[in-house]
């Protein structure tokens, strides 16, 4: 839609009103797969309030039918050429490996050298300095993050509590902050908006994390590495899992979780463990994986890997997160659950989490620019109780209820929790 067509149809409207009309026309035309000109030409009114109400009704029909008030997020609509993600240019093959000079061990540097002999290995004063000297931001940079690896000497940021979201019931998760950034590319990934680092970070001083753990540890805690990265994406290079499994053998009352969308489990299969290590996979219908979880393992590969981990004595976990709403969602998610239980026995499952798609509003234009053909933004996503964009309450309730009932058909007492969901939802689903 060209902005000038809105200007000539509504010359008396101010710029913000015109921008809102443009945004709504774009979203409706993308969702309904008709031209925005056709929608514009069908607008017979001259009153902005009436026009906006009509367009909102058309854009969010479910929400209008179920809620008195809706809170849409209508940022300025801008698509910048050259910012889109290109799967063909996204193979992980770093050009530069930058190493903090305070590091005393060459272990990780040597591992990366063995895998990427053509990369340039350069010593830097520190990651902090490098970022200050090379301040650039934007989606183009995020697309190039796989080109640079930082091997760092972590000094401060070893562990933290998962921040969850405002007014939600938390699951008590703790983050073992071993690295930042991901080689995969999920359309919905919050790192696209959160990250200001022009590369991927891998701390080389894992022993320092272990020293610090005794000060952080609480009895029966749950901790894992999959918050700011994928726990196993490069485990064949870093071999973090081997050190972690060995270390947590001495902390048997702690549950450690490797969270992944990969099938990179060879190190896990050869490690000796004491049963307090959980390997977990995020699950989605293959249709959703194909369009939204680029470069990750397929659903089947994830479940085959989970089966191998169970055979090696591990407990496994599954995260139905984010659950994406789409036309055939019930059948597709039921099929995923049936497939899961055809491979994994309920008693081998440590936990299952469910979380419907939600994200900070700032991520919306980034997804639009990086993935202009995405479908995930076409559904009804409105500002929710925590100011994140979410599906309407009733739709989220229906999704949770359906998944919980489908789980129950396989086993009644699965340890299931909701991720980042408000208290009233837990109560309505009788999960508290």
Where do contacts with ligand SF4 occur on this chain (CB under 6 A)?
A: 182, 184-186, 189, 191, 229-230, 261
DSSP letter string, 166-211: TTBPP--EEEE---B--SSEETT-THHHH---SSEEEES-HHHHHH
- For residues 245 and 273, the answer to whether their CB atoms sit within 8 Å is yes
For residue 431 the two structure tokens come to 């999960």
d(CA 89, CA 236): 22
**Smaller CB separation from ligand SF4, 259 or 315:** 259
Give the shortest CB-3-to-ligand SF4 separation in angstroms: 33
Contacts 24+ apart (CB under 8 A), 116-125: 119/94, 119/95, 119/149, 120/95, 120/96, 121/96, 121/97, 122/96, 122/97, 122/98, 123/98, 123/99, 124/98, 124/99, 124/100, 124/150, 125/100, 125/101
**Smaller CB separation from ligand SF4, 63 or 192:** 192
Give the shortest CB-287-to-ligand SF4 separation in angstroms: 17
**Smaller CB separation from ligand SF4, 191 or 352:** 191
Dihedral over Cα of 243, 181, 377, 381: its sign: positive
Give the shortest CB-254-to-ligand SF4 separation in angstroms: 23
Give the shortest CB-280-to-ligand SF4 separation in angstroms: 12
**Smaller CB separation from ligand SF4, 100 or 185:** 185
**Smaller CB separation from ligand SF4, 229 or 305:** 229
Q: Select from 179, 154, 156 the least CA-distant residue to 230.
A: 179
DSSP letter string, 118-164: TSEEEEES-HHHHHHHT---SHHHHHTGGGEEEEE---S--EEE---
- For residues 258 and 268, the answer to whether their CB atoms sit within 8 Å is yes
**Smaller CB separation from ligand SF4, 142 or 391:** 142
Report, in angstroms and rounded to the nearest whole number, the Rg of the chain calculated over CA atoms. Answer: 23
Give the shortest CB-195-to-ligand SF4 separation in angstroms: 10
- For residues 83 and 143, the answer to whether their CB atoms sit within 8 Å is yes
d(CA 379, CA 31): 8
Residue whose token pair is 């496994």: 316
**Smaller CB separation from ligand SF4, 4 or 88:** 88
DSSP letter string, 397-409: HHHHHHHHHHHHH
**Smaller CB separation from ligand SF4, 72 or 365:** 365
Give the shortest CB-206-to-ligand SF4 separation in angstroms: 20
Give the shortest CB-190-to-ligand SF4 separation in angstroms: 7
**Smaller CB separation from ligand SF4, 92 or 121:** 92
Give the shortest CB-85-to-ligand SF4 separation in angstroms: 11
Give the shortest CB-135-to-ligand SF4 separation in angstroms: 23
For residue 216 the two structure tokens come to 């952080």
């Amino acid at each position: 839609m060209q902005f000038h067509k809105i200007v000539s149809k509504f010359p008396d409207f101010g710029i913000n009103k015109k921008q809102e009309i443009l945004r709504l026309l774009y979203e409706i035309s993308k969702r309904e797969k008709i031209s925005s000109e056709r929608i514009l030409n069908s607008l017979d009114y001259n009153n902005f309030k009436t026009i906006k109400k009509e367009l909102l009704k058309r854009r969010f029909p479910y929400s209008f039918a179920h809620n008195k008030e809706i809170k849409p997020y209508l940022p300025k609509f801008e698509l910048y050429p050259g910012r889109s993600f290109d799967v063909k240019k996204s193979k992980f093959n770093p050009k530069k490996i930058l190493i903090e000079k305070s590091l005393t061990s060459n272990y990780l540097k040597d591992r990366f050298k063995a895998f990427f002999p053509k990369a340039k290995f350069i010593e830097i004063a520190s990651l902090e300095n490098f970022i200050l000297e090379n301040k650039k931001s934007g989606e183009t940079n995020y697309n190039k993050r796989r080109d640079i690896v930082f091997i760092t000497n972590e000094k401060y940021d070893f562990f933290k509590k998962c921040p969850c979201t405002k007014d939600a019931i938390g699951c008590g998760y703790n983050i073992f902050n071993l690295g930042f950034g991901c080689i995969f590319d999920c359309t919905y990934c919050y790192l696209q908006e959160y990250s200001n680092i022009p590369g991927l970070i891998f701390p080389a001083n894992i022993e320092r994390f272990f020293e610090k753990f005794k000060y952080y540890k609480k009895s029966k805690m749950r901790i894992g590495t999959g918050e700011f990265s994928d726990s196993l994406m490069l485990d064949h290079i870093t071999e973090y899992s081997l050190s972690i499994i060995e270390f947590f053998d001495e902390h048997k009352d702690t549950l450690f979780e490797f969270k992944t969308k990969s099938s990179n489990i060879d190190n896990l299969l050869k490690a000796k463990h004491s049963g307090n290590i959980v390997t977990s996979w995020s699950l989605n219908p293959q249709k959703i994986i194909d369009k939204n979880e680029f470069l990750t393992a397929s659903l089947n590969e994830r479940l085959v890997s989970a089966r191998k981990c169970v055979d090696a004595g591990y407990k496994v976990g599954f995260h139905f997160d984010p659950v994406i709403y789409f036309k055939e969602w019930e059948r597709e998610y039921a099929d995923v659950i049936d497939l899961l239980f055809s491979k994994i026995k309920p008693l081998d499952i440590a936990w299952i989490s469910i979380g419907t798609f939600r994200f900070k509003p700032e991520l919306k234009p980034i997804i639009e620019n990086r993935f202009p053909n995405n479908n995930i933004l076409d559904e009804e996503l409105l500002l929710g109780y925590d100011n994140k964009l979410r599906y309407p309450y009733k739709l989220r309730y229906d999704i949770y209820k359906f998944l919980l009932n489908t789980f129950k058909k396989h086993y009644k007492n699965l340890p299931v929790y909701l991720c980042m969901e408000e208290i009233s939802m837990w109560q309505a689903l009788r999960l508290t």
